[in-house]
Structure 1
Amino acid sequence: MFVSEHDKPQPNARPLNPQTERIAQLLTQAPLFNGLAQEEIARFARGVREQKVDKGQVLFHKGDPCQGFHLILSGQIKLAFVSVDGHEKVVEILRAGQTFGEAVMFMDKPYVVMAQALTDCALLHIAKQVVFEEMARDPLFCRKIIAGLAQRLHHLIADLETYSLRSGRERIIGYLLREDEMNGEGTPCGPVSVRLPTNKGTIASRLNLTQEHFSRILHELIDSGLITVEGRTIHIPDICRLRKSLS
């Protein structure tokens, strides 16, 4: 019977020092690093750097060199394109537990978007050299990396389908339903309150809508009795009714 390196007993494994152990605990917040043995954690720890980022701070600009990828421990990060005249298109809004920058790291090219903190954030930056070394050492880790990139591609294709085939109203309702699911609720029916993670303009850009169009659709949903709005909180009297309105 085949036994993977992760499953082999390691009686001589040395205990981790406090700093490495702390990094290990932080790394396990991402599925990519689940199940790492002590030796693997120790190898990664030397290439991990903690970062505290203030709200509004730009982590990197389009064209900056990529030396690794980031794991979000807390807070929210916006990935966006910015035109020469200052107009912005939000590509993704990322939260705790998510990573970004892997694809560019493997391509050995500069960043193709900018990254900015939407809130105060705590991050880990994982140097590409330790990632490459671990991939050369562990086929299972390679599969995790590929699975993560494939999932990101799947989401991008789903976004393209949404922008191309769905109306603005359908995009906003779909977004509210996903927010409920991401908050761990997934309420089948009944009242729900969804707190928007950032301002309406940023979310509108993420959904490929103008802020004016976004606001107009919200008012239409209010007039239909499907939602009420209180600042950044969207109250849904009956999420089952909202869900059925998509059909």
Structure 2
Amino acid sequence: MSRIKLKAILSNIALFRELSAEDIEQLVLGTREQHLVRGELLFQKGSQPQGFYIVVHGQIKLAFSTPQGAEKVIDIVRAGQSFGEAAMFLDTPYLVYTQAITDTLLLHISKSAVFEEIEKSSLFARRMLAGVCRRLHGIVRDVEAYSLHSGTERVIGYLLTQDRDGEENGGGLRVRLPASKHVIASRLNISPETFSRILHELSAADLLSVNGREILVHDPARLRNYSVAVSR
């Protein structure tokens, strides 16, 4: 990828949007692209971070294996999102492994380039901190959901938070699952069988229609009200 194209991509990422052209130029010097094919591992648990990553296009799964050999998906990172910041700042090995869900293009920003920019820009430092805090808040929300919410509530909550990627369809909402049902189920801390059963029950209640990874929520408000009723 040419330096001009790298500059254009970095300039349009929210994290770097307020940086000057000179600062972007310096980041480019510490940036390398990495292409992954579907199923390819990026790094293993225990690897030492040398920077952090930004997804240009595609999807990355963050996960670890349980002692029983099962996979637990922590997060699914999409285009425009970043990951690996916390391990980079702490200078500790990664606690998860990462794998491409689809063919993916990543940018790796080196630790030295990040620290140099932090020293020059308090705005950039705050944005990096905000990114780490968002990941922490996401973990807290997950723990709350696993502890207090039923599987049905988790599935409904997940579908309704996908509206940024959804498509309005005559008052309904069409959502494409970003990964297989097995991966989504692991992300929600339920079994694939439970995930499929809940989708079947919601479909039987005429709240949604399922066609592979395509899900049409007939009426988002009605589905939300159903979730409230289930929680009582």
Q: TM-score, normalised by structure 1?
A: 0.88
Q: Which secondary structure state, in structure 1, belongs to the residue aligned with residue 80 of structure 2?
A: coil
| CA displacement 1:35-85 (0-9 Å, x = unmatched) | 211210121111100111100000000001110100000000000011354
> 2:187 pairs with 199, 206, 226, which one?
206
Task: Tell me, in whole angstroms, the C-alpha distance in 2 between the residues paired with 1:19 and 1:71.
Answer: 17
Question: Which of residues 147, 157, 165 is equivalent to 1:183?
Answer: 165
Are 1:240 and 2:214 counterparts? no
Residue 18 (structure 2) pairs with residue 30 (structure 1):
no
- 1:72 corresponds, among 35, 55, 60, to 55
Aligned equivalents of 1:117, 1:146: Cα separation in 2: 25
Moved over 4 A (4+): none
- Cα distance in 1 for partners of 2:68, 2:221 equals 42
CA 1:82–1:55 in structure 2 vs 1: closer, same or farther (change >3 Å)? same
Equivalent-residue separation in structure 2 for 1:222 and 1:128 (angstroms): 48
1:21 is aligned to: 4
2:181 is matched by which residue type in structure 1?
K
The 8 Å contact of residues 73 and 97 in structure 1, kept in 2 or not, is answered as yes
Q: Aligned ranges for residues 123-138 of structure 1 at < 5 Å?
A: 123-138=106-121
Partner secondary structure for residue 79 of structure 2: coil
Q: Per-residue deviation at 1:129?
A: 0.7
- Separation in 2, partners of 1:43, 1:193: 41
Distance in 2 separating the partners of 1:68 and 1:29: 20
Aligned-residue CA RMSD in angstroms? 1.7
Name 1:195's counterpart in structure 2. 176
Assess, with a 3 A threshold, how the Cα gap between structure 1 residues 109 and 142 changes in structure 2: closer, same or farther: same
In the TM superposition, 1:223-234 aligns within 5 A as 223-234=204-215
Partner residue, 2:202 = 221
Q: Which residue of 1 aligns with 2:38?
A: 55
1:148 aligned counterpart, secondary structure: helix
**Contact 1:189 / 1:238 at 8 angstroms: preserved in 2?**
no
Give the letter aligned to residue 226 of structure 2.
Answer: S
Structure 2 unmatched ranges of 5 or more? none
Which region of structure 1 is more displaced relative to structure 2, 146-155 or 111-120?
146-155
What amino acid maps onto 1:178 in structure 2?
Answer: T
Offset at 1:24? 1.4
Stretches of structure 1 lacking an aligned partner (at least 5 in a row): 1-17
| CA–CA distance in structure 2, aligned partners of residues 29 and 118 of structure 1 | 24
Instruction: State whether residues 79 and 116 of structure 1, in contact with CA within 8 Å, keep that contact through their aligned partners in structure 2.
Output: yes
Q: TM-score, normalised by structure 2?
A: 0.93
For residue 49 of structure 1, give the secondary structure of its aligned residue in structure 2. strand
Report deviation, 1:244. Answer: 1.4
